[in-house]
Amino acid sequence: MTKTRYADIKSFISKDGSVIRELMHPAAHGNANQSFAEAIVTLGKGTRLHQHHRSEEIYHVTSGEGRMVCGDEVFIVHKGDTICIPPGTPHRVDNTGKTELRILCSCSPPYSHDDTELL
């Protein structure tokens, strides 16, 4: 078993421009087949359009509201929504709410900067 503490994990800015905290990642925590992170999109900001060639992502919105582009679809996301993003699907999310937009992100295979292509 591996356990992490939120307060002990430093955040960083990802290639897409969001603030990321890797809650569980093989490179740091020894798990094998997926990564699990929190992404924060600040007020009035958005991520850059990007895709992952190998990773499937699952987003779960824990707070805030946003506008998501996922392939050819554009839709609003709210707290409690969950979105599956298949590999090779261009996507981005803009914070359109009045608070930070917080999203839990699961990636399988695990997130890799090399697998992220900005579009």
**What range does the domain containing 53 cover?**
19-118
Asked whether the beta carbons of 54 and 109 are under 8 A apart, the reply is yes
Domain CATH for 48: 2.60.120.10
Q: In this predicted model, what pLDDT tens digit does every residue of 56-68 receive, in sequence order?
A: 999 999 999 999 9
* Residue 103, domain member (yes or no): yes
* Residue 59, domain member (yes or no): yes
* Residue 77, domain member (yes or no): yes
* Residue 11, domain member (yes or no): no
Specify the pLDDT at position 2: 85
Residue % of the chain over a pLDDT of 90? 85
